[in-house]
A and B are shown apart, each in its own frame.
Chain A
Amino acid sequence: DGGITQSPKYLFRKEGQNVTLSCEQNLNHDAMYWYRQDPGQGLRLIYYSQIVNDFQKGDIAEGYSVSREKKESFPLTVTSAQKNPTAFYLCASSIDWRDGETQYFGPGTRLLVL
């Protein structure tokens, strides 16, 4: 059963702590993405990766870090430098980066800072 999984569904963090959100896909997709969603803001791109061992900053990368050591995994770390981390985080993947390819989303992780 192919798809994108994100864990956990809900995550609580104390201020000043780093936290890592998991994203795994078994679709054999080359490209993976992380988005942040706030109410009324739509989806904003944090980081994306076109291929293993490569990633690029999106529109709101400050306070976040990623790695892409394996094709199927693209974890996102929310660092203490992120001033307003409470949000819904969505991971997505696409077959590759060429023109017209469409993205498929995971179920999301809701991060709450206490």
Chain B
Amino acid sequence: GQQLNQSPQSMFIQEGEDVSMNCTSSSIFNTWLWYKQDPGEGPVLLIALYKAGELTSNGRLTAQFGITRKDSFLNISASIPSDVGIYFCAGQLRGNTPLVFGKGTRLSVIA
């Protein structure tokens, strides 16, 4: 099936640093979503993007829907210890199709 290339696979950063991760695809997507998963829990929706070029913030998180509709990025500013977890991107090709998930970016924050 379709695949999303999510990078980096893992990150180790100092508390207070900014973080950037992205997802790319060879296909055009209508919707991009970003989720965070804490250990042993289900993913939680962070940001949803519906239009090419859209830039959306949620607190210290900012995500953008790429103009080509084939990519999206997520930025976290001034990281804190509770940002630790796995971040997943997900995309929907068109209506009536299942979401496609990236393999995740594992974030570790060093205090």
Binding site for B on A (CB under 8 A): 4, 6, 33, 35, 40-45, 48, 58-59, 90, 92, 97-100, 102-108, 110
Cβ of A22 to closest chain B Cβ, rounded Å: 14
Which residues on B sit within 8 Å (CB–CB) of A97? 95-96
Which residues on A sit within 8 Å (CB–CB) of B94? 99
Cβ-defined partner of A102 (8 Å) among B1, B42, B45, B96:
B45
Contact B103–A42 (Cβ < 8 Å):
yes
Contact B88–A108 (Cβ < 8 Å):
no
Cβ of B104 to closest chain A Cβ, rounded Å: 6
Given the interface pairs A106-B42, A108-B41, A108-B42, the reply to whether A58 lies near B103 with Cβ below 8 Å is: no
The 4 closest A-B pairs by CB, nearest first: A99-B95, A105-B42, A42-B103, A43-B101
Cβ of B67 to closest chain A Cβ, rounded Å: 18
Cβ of B49 to closest chain A Cβ, rounded Å: 10
